[in-house]
Chains A and B, each alone.
Chain A
Amino acid sequence: MTLHWKPYALAAALVTLVAATVLSGAKYNSVIQIGMKAPSFSNLPGIDGKTYSLPDFKEDAVVLVFLANHCPWVRGGEKDLIKIVDDFKGKSVRFIGLGVNLRQDDALPAMKERAAKVGYNLLYLHDPTQEIGRKYGATRTPEYFVLNKERKVIYAGLLTNSPALIQSDGSSRYVNGEPKDFYVRDAINAALAGKPAPVAETRAQGCTVEYSGR
């Protein structure tokens, strides 16, 4: 008997290892794994007064970005967010901003105001229950997730290698110089081509999302 269970144990360990490898990649995110089915959401109110659910969207790629009005990293990156949405106009890509902070200055009325002021060209949804943030393990703003046609998470993290931070004088500065690695753009193109993202996860950098309780 003892002679026989060892190969089974070895096989079981190998299966576990292979399964872990297939879903691996979430080096920084403590909740999601790259390759997993994207957590869904339903009936989240948008700043346009309508409600939206993930299955409503039929595009080949969906980009979720967690945002927060008050955050200097979000403000620093707004220009680049607006640009990437424009760059994919006409392609089968849907961009969705998500606000999950409980701060008054990040709540729905403030989201509407900010979006109008800076000209957000994407859907901007609010989840006061914070559940969508918890499901995605979103701890930073801005933090991006790219979902492919099968609605699997193929990328999580930064927009580029060089996030922009609003400076004291109101200007914004790329903290690592001019961006040269366009993680989200590359992940979207990969999703459109039915391929895995060249870089599947990066360490998100930005303001903290504060979750209540737990």
Chain B
Amino acid sequence: MGAALRLLLFLGATLALGAQNATPPPIDLQRIHFGQWKRELASLKGRIVVVDVWATWCAPCLERFPHVVTLYNQYKDRGVTFVSLCVDDREDPQAVEQARQFLRRQKAAFRNYLMDENITQAFEKLDLLGIPAVFIYDRSGRLRHNFNGDDPNHQFTQKQVEEALARLVADQDQ
């Protein structure tokens, strides 16, 4: 009986540990300098990468974010890596916390970064006027689509993002 109980306890503990290990890490927001960001992108070569640039001060970004999560769930097992890049004011701890909470509410179970640069410089380095913006890189690491709102006469839609990603995945599956 003693041995059986010990075995049961051992099995129970193992299962509990296994279950614990299977729990995904909590959704977090990791600071990243621009140099690290470039290295991160380079390290993802070989995969299609979708980058969503957003901030809590950007209402359209918050409205569009669920679409990125939907795409993530659709493509996560098809060689596509999703990354969110937050350009909130790194010196406003409450805004950073709000961004973290937003990601958790959205169940953004992908890589979530906070650009650890002065906001003006972040936009300069990303060569971007404004957000929301979605960048799609192909497997060779080339920027294939740069969806942004920088031209009033060429605004991007969620449908365009979907179609561009579907095309890229289909092309590269062949």
The chain A residues found within 8 Å of chain B, CB to CB, are 28, 30-31, 70-73, 103, 130, 133-134, 137-140, 161-163, 165-169, 173, 175-176, 203-211, 213-214
Contacts and interface: CB of A to CB of B under 8 A. Distances in A.
B171 interface: no
A71 B92 CA distance: 17
Nearest to A166: B57
Interface residues of B, number: 26
**Interface on chain A toward B: helix, strand, loop, or mixed SS?**
loop
Interface in B27-47: none
Contacts of A165: 57, 89, 92, 119
Given A140-B130, A176-B118, A203 B124 contact: yes
A139 B151 contact: yes
A41 to B, nearest CB: 15
Interface stretch (B69-77, B139-147, B152-160, B161-169): B152-160
Interface of B: 57-60, 89, 91-92, 94-95, 98, 118-120, 123-124, 129-132, 149-155
Given A163-B120, A176-B118, A138 B60 contact: no
Nearest to A176: B120
A138 B155 CA distance: 12
Contacts of B59: 70, 103, 207
A207 B57 contact: yes
A30 B94 contact: no
A204 B149 CA distance: 13
B92 A173 contact: yes
Contacts of A103: 59
Nearest to A68: B59
B152 A31 contact: yes
A3 B94 CA distance: 70
